[in-house]
Structure 1
Amino acid sequence: MSALPEPIISVNHVSKRYQLGKIGMTSFRDEIQRWWERRRSARNGTKPTDFWALRDVSFDVAHGEVVGLIGRNGAGKSTMLKLLSRITEPSSGEIHLRGRVASLLEVGTGFHPELSGRENIFLNGAVLGMTKAEIHRKFDEIVEFSEIGKFIDTPVKRYSSGMYVRLAFAVAAHLEPEILIIDEVLSVGDVAFQRKCLGKVQDISRHSNRTVLFVSHNMNAIETICSSCVWLRGGQLVAQGKNVREIVRNYIADQSQRREPMWTNSGKSWHNDWFQLHRVYVTDSRGALLTHPARNDEPVTVVIEGEVLKSDPSLQIGYALYNGDGDVLYWSTNLDQPEAEWVQLERGPCRLTSTIPARFVNEGEYRLDLLLRLYRRAWICEPGGRSPNIHFEIRGGLSESPCWIERRPGCVAPILPWDVRTGVEAFA
């Protein structure tokens, strides 16, 4: 039985400690000053303040994987990238890299403003580890990717920020290491260029069989291109594995502001003769209370519970949905069907549910106002006023297509069927 191949990246119990307020200078004078401060701190009974940017982190990356590294600002992502790039050393633990490493931690590092785009391609390529022969061989491909061929002999100090970023990423994207570390490249440039960058990252992994460690706050991009995921929080490993969607779901839930997904009529307010309201809430696709953001590709269910005090065919119960800007998206009630299909609300306990289908509303925060009235006779709870309301959030799941790595324009984001015919069948 053949042994499993060794991982191309092994991070074993790695920790990184910094001392707050200390700068890593190494002159003799600085060392004397530090020694004296340590003596004075010991005499006063105080201790230097330590900050652990990473604490006992372990994970492996297999050859050819695209690994998403996620976490909020300050989670330890940048420190981990610096360790993997050998910019700094861990305080404890070991990192094994079985291949050449190229790091794209800051787009455009090594550019000189007085030099032309052509000259900066050779300069930046050399800074990133490419040989002169490699740069000559890939020069036309780099210029074509950057889409700034007309300005290639213009000094880059005259470039717009978008042109600068295009050229810088074009150079970095044509490196050929075994391990490529990329930090937030999809946060630069316009949307079309971001998609192009995403496609290039996918191409690097799929066709060049190189390993990519990809850091981004764009969770749709992480889901689209990554085959596994590592989640850091407060310098510690929270989760890792190939179930990227589940890790991203939990990360988004952990980061989101939790707004109340349930309204309970604890004070027995909204008193009327027809319907005593008890609770209004929303659940996810598994029937659990929606305390976390839901995905666009999963349904959300609205639940209204109460007691019918007096049966009346005109009793109308429903809700109005508003987006984060306060614009009403739609109203929905139990009397939306033809009159012949109405269900008579008899006296006693009553539970009404209505499902907001998957692939319907867009990413964003939503407010749901209760609607309760006798149709064309009297309002009990009118949306947009003091009506009971709850909040929920939609994040991710916009499409399986790499064309949508960020929020779609508009209020809704459905995936509609398309019939595509080509050739002789196009007009048949």
Structure 2
Amino acid sequence: MTDIILKAENISKQYRLGLVGTGTISHDLNRWWHKIRGKEDPYLKVGERNDRSTKGASEYVWALQNIDFEVAKGEVLGIIGKNGAGKSTLLKILSKVTSPTTGEIKTRGRIASLLEVGTGFHGEMTGRENVYLNGAILGMTKREITSKIEEIIEFSGCQRYIDTPVKRYSSGMTVRLAFAVAAFLEPEILVIDEVLAVGDAEFQKKAIGKMQDISRGDGRTVLFVSHNMASVKSLCSRAIVLENGVVGFSGTTEASIDYYLKGEKNNFLQTKFGNRKGTGLVKINKVDVFGENKNVKPQSGKPLTIRFQLDNPNKVKAQDIDFDIRIDDNLDQRISWLSTRLVKKDTKNNLKYVEFIIDNLQLNNGIYTVTTHITVKNIISDWIQKAFTFEINQGDYYNNGYFVPVLQGKTLLDFKVKLH
């Protein structure tokens, strides 16, 4: 039988919108009156789902509704979803920072939480004093903390400042020490929110390695929230996707990430030109992505065309313009870079269109994101981060009826095999 260490049963959390303490005494009295009569809270029947993008009619909102899941000992569970989906609220309930409106959390063992920068730290106390304070909160003795403190300090990389008040730490230093405390003081359940994103790349890699060690080696449980899908994929054995306060999907990490990303980018081609920088002298008006012709979606092993229509009112010549595109996969990992710098510009005409054409597409099936970058005489004219996404269908790249699983690689290479 699986050793369940944490169980969430019918967890819901309701909030009242607006200013706290304004006009709520009548609601509190109403709740109290129903309670002493043994009746259900009358406000559980009202409220709307947690969709931050729409204006609701009710003053009550369900940040979470009917959440059920179990986590086994030694498991690393990823919790993913859009901003406002309810991830942080769920972690606060699991960490007992706040209580659920309905439902129950059952746990076995101590929980250490890292929900935001400086959680549980006192700014006037030194880093060393805060280590002892946090250890005491976790129920550890002074002797137990002392036996671990040198490891904690070394891992955090804050040796020089460990006897300096935490209020003088940068946010990155605070996160480093807070994570080291949470990881090394041996809680049975470690709860980590997006806070690790504050740390630099070296520390993020170090922290993920430590979380893998404590889950696989020490058999402790980790609940991990992140928008970095590469981190979720490398660390988590399973994941749940929250959508507007409810569980939209639960399954393997790969399946959960795929579900989440397809929900975010459910069209074959989705453009988003809002996040752009530059002079605007030459800029993108429209993009088309297609396969063998304009009516065919891109497919592995087939042609791919990415066609840009430009706005060039000043009739800048093609020879003065450099156009680069960067292609990332669904984990935000860079796959390829294409540029007009790499080819001979055989036209002196006013530039209106740019087409990047690939005769034999070597990308495996999946969703890809493109960042565009246009310069005019080396000055940025139009730089759009994550300008659009497009989807590539699975294709018979090797013409033998065998499809390469995307788990085995994002790129497909032409190769030969000699058997002797």
User: What is the TM-score normalised by the length of structure 1?
Assistant: 0.60
Instruction: Describe the shift of the 1:32–1:63 C-alpha distance in structure 2 as closer, same or farther (beyond 3 A).
Output: same
Deviation at 1:16, TM superposition (A): 1.9
Deviation at 1:10, TM superposition (A): 1.9
Is the 2:249–2:259 contact (alpha carbons within 8 Å) kept by the matching residues of 1?
A: no
1 CA distance for matches of 2:208 and 2:185?
16
2 CA distance for matches of 1:120 and 1:138?
14
Q: How does 1:398-413 map to 2 (within 5 A)?
A: none
2 CA distance for matches of 1:214 and 1:18?
24
SS at match of 2:179: helix
Please, which of 214, 228, 236 is the counterpart of residue 218 of structure 1?
228
Is the 1:261–1:281 contact (alpha carbons within 8 Å) kept by the matching residues of 2?
A: no
The percent of aligned pairs where both chains have the same amino acid is 45
Deviation at 1:106, TM superposition (A): 2.3
Aligned position for 1:7:
4
Does residue 1:302 correspond to 2:303, yes or no?
A: yes
2 CA distance for matches of 1:138 and 1:37?
47
Aligned position for 2:362:
357
Please, which of 301, 322, 326 is the counterpart of residue 323 of structure 1?
326
SS at match of 2:62: strand
Query: What is the total number of aligned residue pairs between the two structures?
Result: 302
Letter of the structure 1 residue corresponding to residue 361 of structure 2: I
- Backbone CA RMSD of aligned residues: 4.3
1 CA distance for matches of 2:237 and 2:362?
28
Instruction: Describe the shift of the 1:322–1:302 C-alpha distance in structure 2 as closer, same or farther (beyond 3 A).
Output: farther
2 CA distance for matches of 1:91 and 1:36?
16
Instruction: Describe the shift of the 1:30–1:247 C-alpha distance in structure 2 as closer, same or farther (beyond 3 A).
Output: closer
CA deviation digits over 1:105-136, x for unaligned, max 9?
12422333333322222223334443312210
Instruction: Describe the shift of the 1:238–1:110 C-alpha distance in structure 2 as closer, same or farther (beyond 3 A).
Output: closer
CA deviation digits over 1:366-408, x for unaligned, max 9?
67xxxxxxxxxxxxxxxxxxxxxx964589xxxxxxxxxxxxx
Aligned position for 1:147:
157
Deviation at 1:365, TM superposition (A): 1.1
Aligned position for 1:279:
294
SS at match of 2:263: helix
SS at match of 1:53: strand
Aligned position for 1:176:
186
Instruction: Describe the shift of the 1:332–1:239 C-alpha distance in structure 2 as closer, same or farther (beyond 3 A).
Output: farther
Aligned position for 2:136:
126
Instruction: Describe the shift of the 1:322–1:87 C-alpha distance in structure 2 as closer, same or farther (beyond 3 A).
Output: closer
Deviation at 1:353, TM superposition (A): 8.4
2 CA distance for matches of 1:117 and 1:300?
56
Aligned position for 1:245:
254
Gaps of 5+ in 1: 39-46, 263-276, 288-298, 305-319, 334-351, 368-389, 396-412, 417-428
Gaps of 5+ in 2: 33-56, 272-291, 306-322, 329-336, 344-356, 373-386, 393-409, 414-420
2 CA distance for matches of 1:37 and 1:148?
49
Please, which of 205, 214, 220 is the counterpart of residue 204 of structure 1?
214
Deviation at 1:147, TM superposition (A): 1.4
Is the 1:75–1:234 contact (alpha carbons within 8 Å) kept by the matching residues of 2?
A: yes
Q: How does 1:253-272 map to 2 (within 5 A)?
A: 253-256=262-265, 258=267, 260=269
2 CA distance for matches of 1:146 and 1:12?
36
Instruction: Describe the shift of the 1:147–1:232 C-alpha distance in structure 2 as closer, same or farther (beyond 3 A).
Output: same
Deviation at 1:362, TM superposition (A): 12
2 CA distance for matches of 1:59 and 1:33?
31
SS at match of 1:279: coil
Letter of the structure 1 residue corresponding to residue 15 of structure 2: Y
1 CA distance for matches of 2:126 and 2:164?
5
2 CA distance for matches of 1:321 and 1:158?
42
Letter of the structure 1 residue corresponding to residue 222 of structure 2: V
Q: How does 1:383-402 map to 2 (within 5 A)?
A: 392-393=389-390
1 CA distance for matches of 2:225 and 2:132?
26
Please, which of 80, 100, 119 is the counterpart of residue 110 of structure 2?
100
Deviation at 1:202, TM superposition (A): 0.8
Aligned position for 2:25:
31
Instruction: Describe the shift of the 1:159–1:20 C-alpha distance in structure 2 as closer, same or farther (beyond 3 A).
Output: closer
In terms of mean alpha carbon deviation, does 90-99 or 183-192 score higher?
90-99
Deviation at 1:86, TM superposition (A): 2.2
1 CA distance for matches of 2:17 and 2:215?
39
Instruction: Describe the shift of the 1:37–1:235 C-alpha distance in structure 2 as closer, same or farther (beyond 3 A).
Output: closer
Instruction: Describe the shift of the 1:107–1:129 C-alpha distance in structure 2 as closer, same or farther (beyond 3 A).
Output: farther
Deviation at 1:246, TM superposition (A): 1.9
Instruction: Describe the shift of the 1:354–1:130 C-alpha distance in structure 2 as closer, same or farther (beyond 3 A).
Output: farther
Instruction: Describe the shift of the 1:165–1:89 C-alpha distance in structure 2 as closer, same or farther (beyond 3 A).
Output: closer
Letter of the structure 1 residue corresponding to residue 128 of structure 2: R
Deviation at 1:158, TM superposition (A): 3.3
Q: How does 1:56-71 map to 2 (within 5 A)?
A: 56-71=66-81
Letter of the structure 1 residue corresponding to residue 25 of structure 2: E
Instruction: Describe the shift of the 1:74–1:253 C-alpha distance in structure 2 as closer, same or farther (beyond 3 A).
Output: same
Is the 2:197–2:204 contact (alpha carbons within 8 Å) kept by the matching residues of 1?
A: yes
Deviation at 1:212, TM superposition (A): 0.8
Please, which of 177, 184, 192 is the counterpart of residue 202 of structure 2?
192
Does residue 1:20 correspond to 2:17, yes or no?
A: yes
2 CA distance for matches of 1:53 and 1:391?
30
Instruction: Describe the shift of the 1:12–1:154 C-alpha distance in structure 2 as closer, same or farther (beyond 3 A).
Output: closer
Is the 1:10–1:60 contact (alpha carbons within 8 Å) kept by the matching residues of 2?
A: yes
